[in-house]
Amino acid sequence: MARQSPQRPDADEPELDDTDAAAAADEVEEDRPPADRALWEEVRIDPVEIALPAGTGFTLRAYRSARELTPTDVAERDQDDPFLARRQVVETEEDEEVVILDEEFAALSAEEDDEDEEKDAKSRRKGKADASDDDKAEDDEDEDDEDEDEAGDEEVPVFLTHKGRLLLFKTPESLVTFIRSGAPNDLSQLDSWNELSERLEPADIAPLDEDTYELDLVVENLRGGHDAWDHQLLIEAGEIARDLAYALRLPAVLDMLSAGSSLDDLDEALRASVNGGVGGFLGRRRLKKIGAQTASLGWRTIVGKISAVVDWRD
């Protein structure tokens, strides 16, 4: 059968230009009712969308007191760690093991590491001197106990994970099917999990803007140079990377983003720069001093380590 030619619009019917089409699309979005957030607020769990180089997927995240949670079991995952072969273990003068996370990043950060080691050495010497004072040692013990109690009460992130891997689903339907199946996962330990599994519908999987992260764009954005850096993109990437590193037990990533590291300096400068006034001005000055190559290499390592522990589900 011959293929029919597409029908032309009626001559009396005005054609929509790009502006009119965009406005019409906006009207459709406005007419569409927002996703019901009541369920998520009741169960204290949120849908999250994460874009990685391999694709975009949906998962769940919650925050609970650290003492309420059993960390994900990483024993099976670490037996097949694709990054183990690239790690180098070296001995320091004190016979302590140090793991070099990434050769290029480590080389570019060597000067900063030397400064940190000097600071640590000073701190250790000061700590030994202080330890000679018995009264102060007892006070420190009491403070440590208080710190442990506070750490137990601190709210920490937990994701839809299993055996050290982040479960990412390509569609809302597949995510809901998994939750309803009763398959084992680390979120099932939450007291609100059963209620969520009974009531959840695919239409509920509508992450808020602040729960949508684009890790796939971070490295390329950093490579574009200081003037091209998307501050909000990079700040949000730091937030989700820290959460994932904690929940998935990725100490290497936590170290790379820890206080005092070059990537933490980048994060602080970005946050300061988005504010007005003197703080914003100083933040922008600090950003100019941060090497784009070092930052992009560091983030390439972080995104790679997170991607390596993702379990993609259709």
pLDDT tens per residue, range 250-283: 999 999 999 999 999 999 999 888 777 667 767 7
Strands (E), 55-189: 55-65, 88-91, 97-100, 155-159, 161-162, 165-169
How much is the average pLDDT of 76-98? 54
Pairing verdict, β 212-214 and 45-52: parallel
Amino acid 6: pLDDT: 43
How much is the average pLDDT of 45-49? 98
Domain boundaries, the chain: 44-84+153-313
Residue 228 vs residue 4, higher pLDDT:
228
Residue 103 vs residue 241, higher pLDDT:
241
Task: Output the CA torsion sign for 185, 190, 212, 275.
Answer: negative
Amino acid 204: pLDDT: 97
Tens of pLDDT, residue by residue over 119-133, are 555 555 555 555 555
Question: Per the structure block, which two tokens stand in for 108?
Answer: 């570019």
Helix (H, G, I), strand (E, B) or coil at 64: strand
Amino acid 1: pLDDT: 44
pLDDT at 80 over 80: no
